[in-house]
Amino acid sequence: MEHRSRPAPGAGTDTVTGLAPEAGRTPGNAVRDRAGDPDARWLTALMHAAFFLLLGASLTRFLLRHPGEARTPWIIALSVAIAVLYVIGPVLGSRPTPRSLVWLGVLVAVWMVLVVLAPSFAWCAVPLFFTGLRILPPRAALALVALLTLFVVAAQLRLAEGFDPNLVLAPPAVAAVATAVFVHMQRQAVRQRELSERQRELIDDLLRTRRELAATERREGTLAERQRLSMEIHDTLAQGLSSQQMLLQAADRTWDADSATARRHVRTATGIAERNLAEARRFVHDLAPADLAEGGGLEAALHALAARETAQGQGRLTVRCHVEGERHTALPDRVQSALLRIAQGALANVKEHANATEAALTLTHLDDRVVLDIADNGQGFVPTGRTGTAGSVRGHGLPAIRARLHQLGGTLTIESVPGEGTVLSAAVPLTATSPPTAPEDLV
């Protein structure tokens, strides 16, 4: 994590908040920061309004109390000049450039002349405090605040009829409070900005770490599966093919001289080929359900499963299969495999736990999803919790079904009443590309 160094003495500060500009920040970035900070815009508007309100009130007071004096034109002209100077200030920016320093010096000088000519303009110093604190380095800003405070005290004493301790103590107190508030806001803003930056960096690190971990897990899973298949192929198919090659070559060499031996080599090679064919079929069965590997799609596989389970039930269990709706596009292979495995697992639970005589597989094609319902007329149970059972489950049938649906972003719904059978419904969305973060299975 990078750490920014503190600004050196004399470094510029932000026009509104007084924050030191970050290393590498451009004036365009500063403008965008101010434009996007509601508190900064509110503070800027408040300072501008206070300055022009105090300036207008001071000019009005002077004109009401000193009409027609020789200095009146000068007071009006200087008031207009200081208003124009104050409006120009934001255009020059807040960094301590030669132009901004000259502007601040002229602004303070015009205000001092106004205070000498008309002490009622002294209270315009409060907005000037913040202007100096925004532009100047800390020590220079404090010196300017002290100078402006002295002029305010002198002006108030000139307006008073006699010596008043409040007029001597109040302006320094106001200046001290204003300076302390500004410095505190500046430090709080700096801390808040640093905290926000650290939080953003931590979040970015966390997201990057999660992506890297997921990519690493995918790579490790892929490599592990490749290694398993390579070992299986090497120990079975590759060895068998190598033996067949040697036997056939030996048969070719001895065919004319010793035909009986050659035929024996061919028969041995034929036996090895049969075993390799069985191994190859085992690989296919491991990678895809046997019923799907034979072709015909999910519907044909479910009909074959129902017929096989009925035949194996020998009259104790009859399984029927129904297909509703029309399929507009072919189902993805992983969806077909998962639904067929779910049907097999559900029927295994029916045979083992339900004591049912009839069961039904219903495959429904909808526009946005495909639904497989497995219903039986068995003894039923009371579904409780995420396991969906009454608490005494053998095996991993339902957890395996939930895991398959979670990988596809689907949901599992179980409806069961003791003595009235069970309906298990597995719904898989056809547009999902990844499982939901926290799937909700309904019971």
The two three-digit tokens of residue 100, written as one number:
């901004």
Percent of the chain with pLDDT over 90: 12
- Measured at the CA of 99, the angle between CA 93 and CA 105, to 5 degrees, comes to 100
Distance CA 196, CA 191 (A): 9
pLDDT of res. 41: 65
Q: What is the average per-residue pLDDT within 234-254?
A: 80
Determine which of 104-118, 277-291, 298-312 has the lowest per-residue pLDDT on average: 277-291
Angle at which helix 259-287 crosses helix 239-254, to 10 degrees, equals: 160
Q: What is the average per-residue pLDDT within 168-177?
A: 73
Q: From 417, 408, 418, select the one nearest 426 (Cα to Cα).
A: 408
A 10 A CB-CB count for 408 gives 22
- 54-81 b/e with 16+ CB inside 10 Å = b? bbeebbeebbeeeeeeeeeeebeebbee
pLDDT of res. 388: 46
Determine which of 98-102, 185-189, 273-277, 409-413 has the lowest per-residue pLDDT on average: 185-189
Q: What is the average per-residue pLDDT within 54-77?
A: 82
Higher local confidence (pLDDT), 265 or 364? 364
User: Does residue 394 register a pLDDT over 50?
Assistant: no
Q: What is the average per-residue pLDDT within 288-308?
A: 77
pLDDT of res. 224: 78
Angle at which helix 38-65 crosses helix 72-92, to 10 degrees, equals: 170
pLDDT of res. 354: 84
Higher local confidence (pLDDT), 401 or 129? 401
What distance, in Å, lies between the first and last C-alpha atoms of the chain?
Answer: 48
Distance CA 240, CA 234 (A): 9
Which pTM value belongs to this model?
A: 0.39
pLDDT tier for residue 232 given thresholds of 50, 70 and 90: low
Q: What is the average per-residue pLDDT within 35-55?
A: 69
* Average per-residue pLDDT for the chain: 76
Higher local confidence (pLDDT), 299 or 431? 299
- pLDDT tens digit sequence for 349-392: 888 788 889 999 999 999 889 999 999 998 888 876 544 444 44
Determine which of 2-16, 114-128, 227-241, 395-409 has the lowest per-residue pLDDT on average: 2-16
The two three-digit tokens of residue 36, written as one number:
């996007």
Q: DSSP string covering 96-143, please?
A: --HHHHHHHHHHHHHHHHHHHH-GGGGGGHHHHHHHHHHHS-HHHHHH
pLDDT of res. 419: 86
pLDDT tier for residue 322 given thresholds of 50, 70 and 90: very high
Distance CA 177, CA 193 (A): 24
Q: What is the average per-residue pLDDT within 237-248?
A: 79
User: Does residue 56 register a pLDDT over 80?
Assistant: yes
